[in-house]
Chain A
Amino acid sequence: MLLYPGATAAEAPARQHTSRPIVTGTSVLGIKYKDGVMLAADTLASYGSLAMFKDVTRIARTGSYTLVGASGELSDYHALLDKLKGLAQANANCDDGFEHGPAEIYSYLRAVLYQRRNKFDPLWNSLVVGGFKDGAPFLGSVDLRGTAYEDDVIATGYGSHLALPIMRAKWTPDLDEGEARALLEDCLRVLFYRDCRALDTVVLSKATATGTLVSDPYKLETDWTSASFVAPKAGGDGDGGW
C-alpha cells in the first residue's frame, strides 16, 4: 500500500494498525452501593451488526478483589485478561501476603492502554474496573486512549448515553444490594430496548468485603406493551423513532 499516490518504494508499505474493532461487546455498567461495587453487562458479542455469539461473559474476576468488565473488541479484552492472569500469578508466586487491589489494577490497565495508544495500535476497549479492598470500594473506567477516571456510577458505550442519566438520577450512596441490582437491571432493560447491539441475557457481578462474584448469565424480564412499542408510528408518518 502506498502512502500517497506516486510515493517511492522506500516510503511504500504503510503499516496499518487496528483502525476499527471487529467482534465487539456493548455497554458495561457499574455502580458503588452500600456493601461495595456492582457491575453489569449483557452477553452479546456482535460481528458488526450480526449478533454472533450470545453467551459471552464480559465481566471477569482478577485476583481476590477486582472485577474487570469490557466493551469494545473482545479479542483485545481477552488479551488483557491474559496479562492480568499473569499479574495475579506473579502475586501468588511471591506469597508475601500482598496482592494488587482494584485501584492498582485500574492504574495498570491505564498504563497499558495508554502505552498502546502511543504506539498508534490501541487495544480497542472501554474498561470498567470495580473492586473492594481494605474496606473501600473502587470504581473506575479506562478507555482505548488511556483516559481514566473514577466515579460512583460508570457506564461505557451506549450506556453512557442511555443508562447514565437514569443511574445518576436514581443513585444514592446507601443503596442496598437489592436496590443496586434493580437499578442496574432497569438500565440493562432500557439498553436492550434501545441499543441494537444489546441483549436481554445479562451477567451481574459484585465486589464486597467477602470477595468478588460473577453471576451466571440470566434473562431479563421485558415488557413490550409500552405505547411506543405497540404503535411505533403512533399515527405519524415517521419511521417509529422519536
Chain B
Amino acid sequence: MASTGAGYDLSPTTFSPDGRIFQVEYATKAVENSGTVVGIRCADGVVLGVEKVMLSKMLLPSSNRRVAAVAPHAGVAQAGSTADGRQVVARARDECDSYDDTYGIEIPPSVLAQRLAEYVHYFTIHGALRPFGASTMIAAYDARKKTHELYVLEPTGVCLRYFGAALGKGRQSAKSEIEKLDLTKLTCREALKEIAKMIHTTHDDAKDKPFILEFAWLCEETEWKYGLVPQDLIDEADAWAKKELESDDEDDDGDEEMAS
C-alpha cells in the first residue's frame, strides 16, 4: 500500500519523522482545490472577492455564500469547505458579541484574528478532531486606531496580516497580479475590477464549472461598515474584466501575427 505518510499521516496528533503533521497539510489541500478567493487592503478600505462555483443551473445566486458578516465592522470570506467555514463564522460572531458584552466596544481586528486563530489551531492538536478544511480571510476596521486590516487564517491556525492575499485554485496567478498593483493608491472601486479580472483569468471556462462573482467590502464609502457590494458595481466590474480579457486576447493575436 503506497502512501505518502507511511502511517504517520492518519492523525493530527502524529508527527512524521521529519517533523511534519500531514493531517494539517491534507486539510490545506481541501482549501487549495476550492474556488479562488482574493482579498486586497486598498487605500480606502478592504475588498474581498470570491469565485463562487455554481454546481447547478437551478441553484439560487444568493445560495452558498462564501462571504459573511460577523459584526458591523468585521466580515470574512472563505475558501475550502463551506460547511467547515460556517463553524469559524459562528465562532467569529460569538467572539465579536462577547467582546462587546465585556468591554463595550467593538472587537479590534487583531484580537478577533488571534482569537479565531486559537480556535482553529485547537482542531489541529486533538486526536478526536480534525483540522478545518477552510481558510478564512478577515476584513475588519479598528475604530480607535482608524485602520482597516486584512488577515488570512489558515487551517494550521496560522494567522497573518496582509496587504493582498489569494486562496484557492487560482491563488498563484492572483498573487502575482496583486503584486503588480500599487496598494497604497488603489481604491476599493478599482480593486473590484482588478479582482474580477484576476478571477476571470484563472477560471478556465472549458474545464471549470460556471461561477458567479461575490464581493464584500468595508470602506470609507460604507462608513467602515462591512457589507455585500451592491450588485450594479459587481456587474460593472464583471463587464470591465471580461472586456479587458477580450482586448488582451486580441493583443496576443496581434503579437503572433507580427511574429509570423
Footprint of B on A, CB under 8 Å? Answer: 82, 86, 89-90, 92-93, 95-96
Contact = CB atoms under 8 A, between A and B. Distances in A.
18 contacts: A82-B101, A86-B97, A89-B71, A89-B72, A89-B93, A89-B97, A90-B93, A92-B69, A92-B72, A93-B68, A93-B69, A93-B70, A93-B93, A95-B65, A95-B68, A95-B69, A95-B228, A96-B62
B147 to A, nearest CB: 22
Given A92-B72, A96-B62, 16 more contacts: A82-B101, A86-B97, A89-B71, A89-B72, A89-B93, A89-B97, A90-B93, A92-B69, A93-B68, A93-B69, A93-B70, A93-B93, A95-B65, A95-B68, A95-B69, A95-B228
Contacts of B72: 89, 92
A92 B228 CA distance: 11
Interface of B: 62, 65, 68-72, 93, 97, 101, 228
Contacts, number: 18
Contacts of B71: 89
Contacts of A92: 69, 72
Contacts of A82: 101
A89 B71 CA distance: 7
A82 B99 CA distance: 12
A96 B69 CA distance: 12
Contacts of B68: 93, 95
B25 to A, nearest CB: 32
A92 B256 CA distance: 52
A240 to B, nearest CB: 46
Nearest to B89: A93
Contacts of B70: 93
Nearest to A82: B101
Nearest to B227: A95
Contacts of B65: 95
B258 to A, nearest CB: 50
Nearest to B104: A82
A151 to B, nearest CB: 34
Contacts of A90: 93
Contacts of A95: 65, 68-69, 228
A96 B62 CA distance: 9
A95 B65 CA distance: 10
Contacts of B228: 95
Nearest to B216: A95
A143 B251 CA distance: 73
B236 to A, nearest CB: 21
A34 to B, nearest CB: 34
B183 to A, nearest CB: 28
Contacts of A93: 68-70, 93
Nearest to A83: B101
A95 B72 CA distance: 12
Contacts of B62: 96
B223 to A, nearest CB: 14
A126 to B, nearest CB: 25
A39 B6 CA distance: 72
Nearest to A95: B69
A176 B69 CA distance: 40
CB-based closest 8 A-B pairs:
A93-B69, A86-B97, A93-B93, A95-B69, A92-B69, A93-B70, A82-B101, A89-B71
